Every structure is written in C-alpha cells, then in structure tokens.
Chain A
Amino acid sequence: MSTKYATYETAWCPGCGNFAILDALKDTLNKLNLSPHQVLVVGGIGQAAKLPQYINTNGFEGLHGRALPVAIAAKIANHNLKVIVNTGDGDSYGEGGNHFIHNIRRNVDITHFVHDNQIYGLTKGQSSPTSGLGHVTDFTPNGVFNKPLNPLTMALSLGAGFVARAFSGEKDHLVEIMQEAINYKGYAIVDILQPCVSFNKVNTFAWYKDRVYKLKDHDYKDKVKAFEVANIWDEEIPIGIIYKEEMPSYTDNFGFLKEKPLIEQDTSKETVKKLIEDFI
C-alpha cells in the first residue's frame, strides 16, 4: 500500500475489525487514483467514526448520528469532492436513523460505509439496532428483545440504488465493493460486518467467517431477488453487491450544477438587484 494516505496511531483495540476497513479504504482510494485532497471522509461519533482521523484525506468528524447530513451537503456544495462516510451501526441506524431514511430518498452521490459490529463499541457494549434477538450484553441482561434492523431490506424498501454487504475479514472483496460503491453515481450503502473484539462476544470474527459467502451469479438488477438475498442471515450470510440500479442522483436535478459545482457559482449582483426590485 502506498503511504499517500499515511499511517497514524489509532485508538482502536488490537484485533478490531476497523483496521482492515481502514486499510481497505486506503487501497481503494489508491486504486481509484484519488489524491488525498480530492476526498472528504465524514464520520459521526463512535469507534468507527474515528476513521477520518486515521487517513490523510479531508475529514469531518461531526456529531453522533449526523454524518449523513454533513456529507450530502458537502457533496452538494462541491460535487468535485469524493465524499465518503465511514461510521458505526449505532451512529447510522440508531441515533442517525432518520437521516438514513431520507438520504436514501434524496440520492446524493456519496458513499456510506457502515462499520457494523452489531454493538455500541465506544460507549462500551450496549446493544445496537443490528444486535441479534437474545443478544446478552451488560445492558440487556435478559437478551435483546427488539427485532434487529436489517439495513439492507430497509434500504431496498426505500428505493436505494446501490446496496451491498461486505466483511472486514474479506479484504480483497471489500476493496472491490468499495470501488464499485464509490464509483456508483448516487447514494451507495455498504454494510460492513466488523468484529468488535472487546464487546461483541456473539458475532465474533469466527462467527462471521463461518457464515459469510460471496454472492455468485446473483443478478443484482433483480429487486425481488435482492430482497431475498438481503434477508438471508444467521446460518449463512451473503456478501457482495445485492442491488444496483442506475438512476438520476440529486445534483442531476439542477441544471445549473451541470456546468460547475455550487461553490464556484456566484449569485450575480444583477440577479440580486432584480430580485430586490421585484418588491418595488
């Protein structure tokens, strides 16, 4: 790996799945021939969300749950930037659930990598929206009662155009998917299974390793099939691109953004003058 994206000391636990995701992201950006200043990595708050700190690109570490609104607006403001969100499952689906719903609908051309360790890591082991039924944590002594949220079927049902699952333990495959996701013109979500060695004693590296298999001969243009595949869990877990469909993305709706990014367009004094004079 080139050092263009630099290497920093992290605050992650040894053995954490986040390392592989960070490495994969750096590889991906290299493969895509992107320079650090062309990329903006946005995180919320959490272990995963610390990623912007550990890569030499533009970074924005905002509020817990609020990575998406920051990211899509940054993209809208300067669509020459490659905008990538790296953040946790709690951040994306818990605190940030409403932004998840509505940014699927908005379809801004950003990429959303969810480090899905099925747990709240940074706050030390509460169940997350994706924790399995019955998952015992210090905070759910009788196991989780709430039905786990399936981000993939949810995204599909909201009309997402790029839906994928990956596993931090399959790095090459992850890099492939990351490339496809970043290249996709629109909102792309990749739910990345990521072992948390400190707090998730159920969904361990081995647990995932035993279950994941790479999708083969899957027709990712078929929505019904996509739902089917997205629903597979527990005994077997498919990884790969589950659904992909080309569609207009947010900025396509604005003619004037075709010339150049918003940031490079000024509202002319003449226009303002005219608008003022409308009130005469």
Chain B
Amino acid sequence: MNFVPNTKKEREEMMDFLGISSITELFEDVDAGIRNKDDLKLPEPMSEIEIIDYLGELSSSNHNMQDFACFLGAGAYYHFIPSVVDHLLLRGEFYTSYTPYQAEMSQGMLQSIFEFQSMICELTGMDAANASMYDGASALSEAAILAAKYTEKKSIMISKAVHPEYRHVLKTYANAFGLKILETEMENGLSDIKDIKTKLNDSCACVIVQFPNFFGNIEELKEIGDLAHKNDSIFVTNVVEPISLGLLKPPGAFGADVVVGEAQALGNPLNYGGPHLGFMATKEEFLKKIPGRISGLTLDTSGERGFILTLQTREQHIRRERATSNICTNQALNALAATIYLAVMGKHGLKEAAEICYQRAHYASKKISDVKGFEMRFSVPFFNEFLIECPKSPKEINRTLLSKNILGGFEVGKYYEEMENCMLLCVTEMNTKSQIDELVNAIAEGLP
C-alpha cells in the first residue's frame, strides 16, 4: 500500500504533459553518485490485516492501565476521559487540519483554541495563555527563557521539589541558552523558603516552584511569590496535575506571573509519555513575550465576530531570529481534547473529580500509614500524591504488587538518593476503594 491514488495510466498522462518518459527524469538534479543504489532495507510491506495483527500483539506486550490498579503518577496521570472527548476529536475536520493560518476556513480550531486559552486562564488565574506547548517541561523552560529575556538576568532559581525530569530538560535548555540554574533545597517535602531567601540574588530572573509539587505537596506559594517579587524576579509556577486546580486556589491568586505546566491530566491519555500537553499562561504584561500560537478575537468585514492567529510578530515565521521562541508545530489536538474535557466536566465535574482524588488519596495514605513499617515521609498538606517511606526496597514491593495486578508507586530513589526507600503513590478517581484496600493488603502481606 502506498496511499497513492493515481493509476499507471494517470501517471503516464501526467508524464506526457510534462514531456518526460519516466519519473526518474524528474530526479536528474540528484547527482547519480549519491542516489540510492539499493532498495531500502526495510521489512516487507504489510496489509492492514497484517499490521493490525502485528501491532495488536506488540500492544498486548505492554502493560495497559485498564488491566491494573494503577497507583503510578509522578507527572503522567491515569484519569477518567469521558468518551465524548474522543468521539469529537476523531472528527476529520479537526485532526487532519493544520495550524489555522487561513482563519476563514479554520474557525473551528481558532475558536476552540480561544476557548482553551480562556479555560487555562481561568484554571490558573492568569490573563493570557497560548495555544499549547510541547509539554510541561518545555513550557517551564520557555518560561525561564522568557523571564531571562524580560529581566535581562541570567539565573534561574528552581526548587528541587519540581519534577526531576523537568529540571533535567530545563538544564539542557539552560546550557544552550547560556542560563545558570540555581536549585533550592526542600524541607519536609516543601520548597525550603529559608534556602530560597538565602540564595536569591540580583541575577535571579525567576523563581520556579511546582504546585502541587512533585511529591503532591501544596507549596506555600504566597510566601515564595512575595520573596520573588521583592527580589524583582518573576514568579513562575509549574502545575503538572491540573485536576488539583478544581480544589486549589489558582497560582495567579498568589501572585504568580507565569503559570506553566502539563495538562495531560485533562482529557489526554497516557500514551506511554506522549503526546501530552504543555501550556503557558501569564499576566497581561507578558502577553507579547509569550511563545507559540495565540488565537485572538476580531471582526470580519461584515462586522461579525471571528478568531484569528494574533500577535504573530512574536513568532518564528515572521520574526525569525528575533522570535520569542522557535516553536511552530505544537500540541493543538491535545489542547482540543483538554478543551472538550473541561467543557463536559464543567465547573462541577472538575471540582468533584478533584474532591474524589483528594478523598481517596487521603484514605489511602491513612490506611498505608497504619501498616507497620510504612510511614508518610512528610507531614504537610497534599493533594493526590504522597510519599511513603517503606520498610524495604520499593522495587521489591512493586514487584510483589505487580504480581497482583497492581502498579505501585514511583520509586523516587531514581532521582532523589536520600529517598531511596520511598515510593510516590498517586490516587485518582480511577482507583476504587477496593483497589486501595487491595493495595494496602498486598503491602501488608509482604511483610515479615
């Protein structure tokens, strides 16, 4: 199969029109010396029947959260996705279109992007948002760059309670962009305010914390924001589990200047890590510094409301080396999923989902803490993730759990040496009480 509609006859007609007798003639500008001599060494082509078989099997050899009680989160969340989301996403007019350059033919995407921006602003308490970013980590990195450019400072202060892989990505970007990273310590599962205070200096373009942080804990945004502002640094808040914003006050209410993050949790499947959905929202004053697409409201020649990509002079295709960012293709369809998700969940649904997550997570944390040898590592308010200190290696525990079709928590020792015996558990509305009880039993069983 090559998905080429033209038949031999049609090709011949076209060649006649061009006055050539073989398509090869169209490649004469490619030096014979470099042209492929052999066929590509690829497996034999497959028909649709065969590929379904083949990839069906490959897919089956992967864990699939539907078959497990999943307590794994740590930046990728197994939440409920109302079936209406996928039904609408699969409309060809959406997913086979591209960036809405031609506004009059793309009002569907443009309006939905505008709605996405509005919802993100509402969730985060910000004034403006873009159409999406690759993921939470690149959004965070772009926020750091924005801050550095805006303040003309070179240091990025970031808490160790921010998702480790986000910090890795930030480091990669910072290396390239010539920025310096200043990591701040933690204290009882929260960003250590004293350390922030100590380390803050004139070179700090921004202060970045995560809310809830990597350990599910609710950072003291107000205090941190005030410190940042007092230092003339931009206060950036990273949100990776946005369902929490159904329950928590938006970062904007604590003075965040820029809120970035990952919105996979909103209507997007896990997809083994991607595509997920980065977002960036800012206060009004940063509007013209935002990277990426922005849909804006305008009028047409007959005075009717419509939407169009706006402030494009920020972007690479106009401004080239002076663009705010190089981003072009983004995560539009994932943003559409989030938009539809938030529309159908609505005000009540999102609040309720957050409440269920909270309640079930706290039930789980209590029950697990009741098991001898297991202890909550921190004693601060958390949302739906919590760190448990285990009496033996989390790896071993996870292996036992797996044999009972339970996917245990994230082994944080991978990224935090000092927490080698700790496991980060995540509970969502997908985890029933009986799943939690089974988890607790399974954990208790394995003990001496």
> Is B one of A's binding partners?
no
